Amino acid sequence: MFSLLQIAVRNVLRNKRRTAITLAALLIGVSVMVSIRGLLNGLQRSLVQNVVQGQTGALQIHRAGFLKNVLSSPLGLDMPQDAAFERKLLSVKHVKAVSPRILFAGMINVADQTIFLGVQGVDPIREFQVVPLRAKTLDDKQQFASGKVADAMVVTEQLASALQGSNVPKGAPAALLAPDRDGALSGENVTLTGVMKLNMPGEKKIGMVRLDVAQRLLKMEGRATEYIVAVDNIDNIDQVAADLNVLLGKDYEVSTWEDIAAFIKQAMQRQNFILSLVASVFLILMLLGVANTMLMSVMDRTREIGTMMAVGVRRSKILGLFLMEAATIGALGGVIGGAVGSLIVLVLNRRGISVSFPGSNVPFTIQPFVTPTYLLTIVAIAGLGALLFAVYPAWRASRLRPVEALAGG
Amino acid sequence: MALVQLQNIKKSYQLGKTEVVALKGVDLTIEHGEFTVVMGPSGSGKTTLLNIIGCLDRASSGSYKLDGDEIGHRDFNDLAEVRNRKIGFIFQNFNLIPVLDVVENIEFPCVIRGEDRKALRERTLKIAAEVGLTPYLKQKPDELSGGQRQRVAIARALVTEPQLVLADEPTANLDSTTADQIIDLMLKLNREHGVTFVFSTHDPRVMEHARRVVRIHDGVMEDGTDAAAHEAGRMHAAMGH
């Protein structure tokens, strides 16, 4: 015994060459879409990881108004840097670690050269707990983190290059100058112990000193201008941000990495938009192929449609038959294309793709991946899209007059 | 009550800007159990007449009663229902569904109306045996000879237990031996089951067996309809029912 669905499936298998060509178009389209999505997922995950674990942390805490005035280095908008304040922050659910920073602008003098720079005062061990990828950008992480050289300072390769060609001798003495919290020019002797690479595009002339050096220089003992926060799971940041806001009140502002590195978020949105556009074009081309196949099928089978009508098949069932055939092709193409695309993504995931951002010299590895939800969605879109694009051919078939159809159209 | 009653049936087509009149007022009555042949040269309107009787097409004007019901103005789905329940078709080109095997082709009209599968299968096997298809039940149409295909079409036309079977040139694509067998088979079914057959044909052998010959020319029924054969059909019907 049989049903209309079985007839539809048999019809799909009937003209093997035509079905194979249509399926090939769907397969290529869907597998390319899955592969591109996989690459983009991998790239975006790496982007977020680089930002969150290499620069900003998942969240940052500042005094209210700090970010609006960040260019003027508002040292007055500071906060306590002590155990009590940190315990308070760590009491919030999902917060894994916190680390204080002082950000300021100043000048560095090496031999007879003086250059303006941005400086970060950090507590190295805790800094590398919150942003562990940052440790990898230092050529001598141990030296800086150990505190053996109390006045150690690392600078970016670009700054080192500007200071002394590309050749800064390790251990070279330098003077760090900056206006302190009260606006008076202050200076500290530092030792250039190494260089760091930039893992993200942005300001290139940057230096990093230990927090206590910065506090001494700026007359800010026991103070910090920001805390960076690590969370147990990046998906929890909105909840953590809300809880911290409640805890700290209106004197503080809590920002997520998306607020701080808004350009990354925007870049990801642009990438997703472009992918959607490309995917839509692919999809429409694929589905036009399905529509064409169905139209040819209707033309080839006009007499058969007439026979079905003659023995009493209603128009709605003729429509349903052709829609089922299109949906079968669409779903089949979607499933096979999804499987091939997943395989490509899996191979790329195992191998990894090494890239670095423009403006950065720290390579990182992209590991493409796709989610089951995306795969299911793409299969559903292929099936439903094929159904939609087959409406016209199927409708034409169902509107044939039995007499004309029996005569072969 | 007559099975088919046509009164002043007219049919015209629009062919570009020209109106082609295919039937110019046909009156025809066919009784239950008749074995009727509609004859006429190409373009005479006999296929149009058969299409209207088979509810595949609608008359431009006139009255058509099938088994007492006026069906001339019913919509597509109603007519599909009428075709499915009351009329069987046998085509010149057999018109089987290529993806279905012999049993499935025979059962197709009953499956689409949702008939009980077990009873249907029993009836199908019986009809298949009667038309000599038992050895070929699982074959696809393209694995059958012309004669075998036409037997499948006959079985498909009969499985719904219709009141009327329309056959449009059923022997035109068959060799003479096979054509004879097919005609004998249809005569037997007419005789034994009282199924009403209406043919359109050029085949003189079919006409030899016809109890009634209806001639049509230029869309008009000609005089010379065999009244005696008509009467024989009536008698047969009376005995059969």
- Residue among A4, A303, A310 whose CB faces B83 most closely: A310
Query: Domains of chain A: which residue ranges?
Result: 4-51+265-406, 65-249
CB pairs under 8 A between A and B: 69
- Residue among A315, A317, A403 whose CB faces B57 most closely: A403
Q: What is the largest CA-CA distance in chain A?
A: 101
Within 8 A of A403 by CB-CB distance, chain B residues are: 51, 56-57
CA–CA separation, B179 vs B177, rounded Å?
A: 5
- B229 pLDDT exceeds 50? no
Residue A279 contacts residue A287 (beta carbons within 8 Å): no
Task: Tell which residue, B108, B56, B105, has the closest CA to residue B82.
Answer: B56
pLDDT tens digits, one per residue of B95-115 = 999 999 999 999 999 999 989
pLDDT tens digits, one per residue of B136-186 = 999 999 999 999 999 999 999 999 999 999 998 888 888 888 888 888 888
Query: Residue A310: which pLDDT band, with cuts at 50, 70 and 90?
Result: very high
CB contact under 8 A, A10 and B117: no
- B232 pLDDT exceeds 80? no
CA–CA separation, A183 vs B170, rounded Å?
A: 109
- Rounded to two decimals, the ipTM of the complex is 0.89
- A340 pLDDT exceeds 80? yes
Place of tokens 């000599």: B132
- Helix, strand, coil % (nearest 5) of chain A? 55, 20, 20
Task: Tell which residue, A92, A91, A96, A148, has the closest CA to residue A126.
Answer: A96
Report phi then psi at A270, rounded to 5: -65, -45
pLDDT for residue B164: 95
pTM, two decimal places:
0.77
Q: Is A317 on the interface with B (CB under 8 A)?
A: yes
Task: Tell which residue, B150, B156, B222, B167, has the closest CA to residue B53.
Answer: B167
Query: Residue B211: which pLDDT band, with cuts at 50, 70 and 90?
Result: confident
Report phi then psi at A172, rounded to 5: -65, 135
- A408 pLDDT exceeds 90? no
- A388 pLDDT exceeds 80? yes
pLDDT for residue B186: 86
Interface test with B, best of A15, A304, A311 (most B CBs within 10 A): A311
State how far residue B161 is from chain A, nearest Cα, in angstroms: 12
DSSP state of B26: E
pLDDT tens digits, one per residue of A182-235 = 889 999 999 998 888 877 767 788 999 999 999 999 999 999 999 999 999 888
CB contact under 8 A, A306 and B117: no
- B223 pLDDT exceeds 70? no
Query: Residue A142: which pLDDT band, with cuts at 50, 70 and 90?
Result: confident
CA–CA separation, A393 vs A288, rounded Å?
A: 11
Strands A113-122, A206-210: pairing is: parallel
**Percent of chain B predicted with pLDDT > 90:** 58
Q: Is A184 on the interface with B (CB under 8 A)?
A: no
CA–CA separation, A106 vs A213, rounded Å?
A: 13
Crossing angle of helices A315-351 and B76-86, rounded to 10°: 100
Q: Which residue of A has its CA nearest to B87?
A: A311
Tell me the C-alpha to C-alpha distance, in Å, between residue A60 and each of A260, A394, B126, B180.
8, 58, 84, 96
Query: Residue B236: which pLDDT band, with cuts at 50, 70 and 90?
Result: very low
Place of tokens 């993200």: A200
Crossing angle of helices A16-51 and A262-300, rounded to 10°: 170
- Which residues, 6 or more positions from A274, have their beta carbon under 8 angstroms from its beta carbon? none
pLDDT tens digits, one per residue of A152-179 = 999 998 888 888 764 667 788 899 999 9
- A241 pLDDT exceeds 50? yes
pLDDT tens digits, one per residue of A18-63 = 999 999 999 999 999 999 999 999 999 988 888 899 889 999 999 9
DSSP state of B113: T
CA–CA separation, A228 vs A260, rounded Å?
A: 11
- Homologous superfamily of the B33-45+84-240 domain (CATH): P-loop containing nucleotide triphosphate hydrolases (3.40.50.300)
